[in-house]
């Protein structure tokens, strides 16, 4: 959780879930990225749902490779003690929905504190489980912001976007919850392009080696990405768009 510039308390969903790759890969990717980008040590990784609520698990290795971060270099090793500490929780080992519930309780304090905005950039299984198991805590949630869906366009069928397609039942549970929702659809994220100009700024000498080596790799399309999913101007920045919109509101 972070206190954003707009003074809204944001739960950055470091609760890996099934999706482009297995849960084992997504949780390790999350821990490696948190460490690589210098996230505060108190931001931990909590294990999320390994599969959809009802449907068989669906992975998509042709986009980001088997690991989910294929081609990304300079990330710390999985055996790095600092990476492994991301999985050590001061409150004892707990799953994602328990971590979300604890964060809402700490911040909301039965109405004496502030509400929390919960972000999701993958399938919404973790959030759906939170909604179902802890309905009494929904009063402490200001908004659900999620990257998913599309208006008249899909990337895994004629109409379906991958995050929603992975667990549509979970998405429906979240959409039915009595909490404000902001959907960042595929139509919007496809306009957030990492152009050559933006890429050049990231590579400028004023940027740190970490930004140069890691961020640019993360934002460039992997070699396996079908050309039809990449703009002529550069790759779209899907997963960060929901966070930027949330921080700007």
Q: Determine the pLDDT at residue 204.
A: 63
Mean pLDDT of the chain, nearest integer: 79
CATH superfamily name and code, 2-248: Ribonucleoside hydrolase-like (3.90.245.10)
Check if the beta carbon of residue 102 is closer than 8 Å to that of residue 135.
no
Provide the angle, in degrees to the nearest 10, between the axes of the packed helices 125-133 and 168-176: 50
Give per-residue pLDDT as tens, 36-79: 888 888 889 999 999 999 999 988 787 777 888 877 878 899 99
Instruction: Enter the pTM of the model.
Output: 0.79
Give per-residue pLDDT as tens, 145-169: 999 888 876 676 777 888 999 999 9
Measured between alpha carbons, how far is 131 from 180 in angstroms, rounded to an integer? 13
What residue segments make up the domains of the chain, in order of their start? 2-248
Helix (H) or strand (E) holding 117: strand 116-120
Give per-residue pLDDT as tens, 85-124: 999 988 788 899 999 999 999 999 999 999 999 999 899 9
Measured between alpha carbons, how far is 204 from 215 in angstroms, rounded to an integer? 13
Measured between alpha carbons, how far is 33 from 41 in angstroms, rounded to an integer? 12
Check if the beta carbon of residue 57 is closer than 8 Å to that of residue 104.
no
């Amino acid at each position: 959780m972070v206190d954003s510039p707009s003074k809204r308390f944001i739960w950055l969903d470091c609760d890996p879930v099934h999706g482009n790759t297995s849960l084992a890969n997504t949780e390790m990717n999350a821990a490696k990225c948190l460490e690589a980008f210098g996230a505060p040590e108190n931001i931990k990784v909590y294990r999320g749902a390994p599969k959809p609520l009802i449907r068989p698990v669906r992975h998509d290795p042709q986009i980001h490779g088997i690991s989910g971060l294929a081609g990304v270099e300079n990330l710390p090793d999985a055996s790095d003690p600092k990476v492994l500490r991301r999985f050590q929780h001061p409150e004892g080992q707990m799953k994602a929905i328990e971590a979300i519930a604890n964060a809402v309780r700490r911040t909301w304090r039965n109405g004496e504190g502030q509400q929390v905005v919960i972000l999701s950039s993958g399938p919404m299984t973790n959030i759906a489980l939170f909604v179902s198991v802890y309905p009494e805590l929904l009063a402490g949630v200001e908004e659900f912001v999620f990257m998913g869906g599309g208006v008249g366009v899909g990337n895994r069928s004629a109409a379906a976007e991958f995050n929603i397609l992975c667990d549509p039942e979970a998405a429906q549970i979240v959409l039915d919850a009595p909490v404000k929702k902001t959907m960042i659809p595929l139509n919007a994220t496809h306009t957030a392009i990492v152009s050559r100009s933006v890429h050049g700024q990231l590579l400028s000498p004023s940027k740190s080696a970490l930004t140069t080596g890691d961020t640019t790799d993360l934002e460039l399309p992997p070699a396996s990405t079908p050309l039809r999913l990449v703009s002529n101007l550069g790759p779209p920045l899907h997963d960060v768009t929901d966070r930027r919109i949330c921080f700007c509101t």
